[in-house]
Amino acid sequence: MTPYVFDLERSARGLRINRFLHSFAEAPARRRFAEDPEAAMQDAGLDDHERDIIRRRDWRALMDHGASFFCLEKFARATGVSNPDMVAAFRGETLEEFLKTRRVPGAR
């Protein structure tokens, strides 16, 4: 896996997505996305690529595009995805493969 560096270029590229995902800290934004994700993404000014990776819940692509981990956590929580599931996807692993690398007895 290529090392992940959240640099200025990646930060700038992810600005729209980060603003959009950060808005999920507020209940109205979460409700709007749940009711009409396409309209919510359009109103946020997301481009076609950004909309696609959000639709697919492609966690690695979102991260590579510049979404910050903290904003991704808001998105995961709003869409019912656990942190371990999200991190496993970052690493290209199944949840079971990821959990085998943790030293937390009984973690699920």
Stated pTM of the model: 0.81
| Predicted pLDDT at 31 | 97
Three-state SS across 33-48? Answer: HHHCHHHHHHHCCCCH
What is the spatial distance between Cα 51 and Cα 40, in angstroms, rounded to a whole number?
10
| Predicted pLDDT at 4 | 65
Unique residue bearing structure tokens 């808001």 = 74
Yes or no: say if 35 and 51 are a contact pair by the CB < 8 Å rule: no
| Predicted pLDDT at 32 | 97
| Angle in degrees, 0-180, between the axes of helices 15-22 and 48-55, rounded to the nearest 10 | 50
Domain map of the chain by residue range?
8-79
| Predicted pLDDT at 11 | 75
| Predicted pLDDT at 106 | 63
| Predicted pLDDT at 102 | 83
Per-residue pLDDT in tens (0 to 9) along the chain, 108 residues: 566 666 777 778 889 999 999 999 999 999 999 999 999 999 999 999 999 999 999 999 998 899 998 999 999 999 999 989 999 998 889 998 998 888 766 655
CATH class of the domain defined by 8-79: mainly alpha
Nearest to 21 by CA among 53, 67, 56: 67
